[in-house]
Amino acid sequence: MRSGIRLGIDPGQARIGTALSDPSGILATPLQTVRVDGQEYATLCQIVVEQAVDFVIVGLPLSLSGAWTESTRQARDLATKLSTMVTVPVRMIDERLTTTTANRTLRATGTSQRAGRSVIDQIAAVTLLQQALDSERQLGREVGWSIREVAEMSHD
């Protein structure tokens, strides 16, 4: 497993949650929520540069059955476009239930769903990035799929 800062991205239609790992790839922490407003790619590229990111991990929201949905296609499109704009590898991982886990985490802390709306996407990004980091350590290699592999498994 290579060391380096990883950027976790939880894509959404209105907001994109982001999280960063430490350089050793052990711990994921929330970074910011990026609005989908036409400037999201510029903002994500700026994060990659300013945070000295070495790898980007984007969540691929498959349905519980593993089927592709409109959200899956949108996440694939985001990762594909981002991969042409940054000089670091972009990989995608299955992120089923990360938002559900993030909502459960907020409820456990006593935070209302309304109050947590501004951070829920960051928590989901932390969840998917931490899962990727833990899997990398356990397997001793990068996890997820390359953009090319995701394109080959597309259901369009």
Q: What is the CATH classification number for the domain harbouring 125?
A: 3.30.420.140
Q: Which residue has the higher pLDDT, 118 or 10?
A: 10
Cα(79)–Cα(153) distance, rounded to whole angstroms? 14
Q: What is the pLDDT of residue 98?
A: 57
In a domain, 155, yes or no: no
In degrees, to the nearest 5, what angle opens at C-alpha 134 toward C-alphas 118 and 70?
50
Using alpha carbons, list the distances in angstroms from residue 28 to 12, 70, 100, 112, 155.
19, 27, 18, 23, 31
In a domain, 156, yes or no: no
In a domain, 97, yes or no: yes
In a domain, 79, yes or no: yes
In which band, very low, low, confident or very high, does the pLDDT at 119 lie, cut at 50, 70 and 90?
confident
Q: Is 123 exposed, middle or buried (0-12, 13-18, 19+ CB in 10 A)?
A: buried
Total number of domains constituting the chain: 1
Say whether pLDDT at 115 is over 60: no
Supply the range of the domain harboring residue 67.
6-144
Cα(128)–Cα(131) distance, rounded to whole angstroms? 5
- Three-state DSSP at 140 gives coil
In a domain, 153, yes or no: no
Task: State the chain's mean pLDDT as an integer.
Answer: 87
Helix axes 113-139, 98-108, angle to 10 degrees: 120
In a domain, 12, yes or no: yes
In a domain, 93, yes or no: yes
Question: Which ranges constitute the DSSP H helices of the chain?
Answer: 40-50, 70-85, 98-108, 113-139, 147-153
The pLDDT tens digits for 25-55 are 999 999 999 999 999 999 999 999 999 999 9
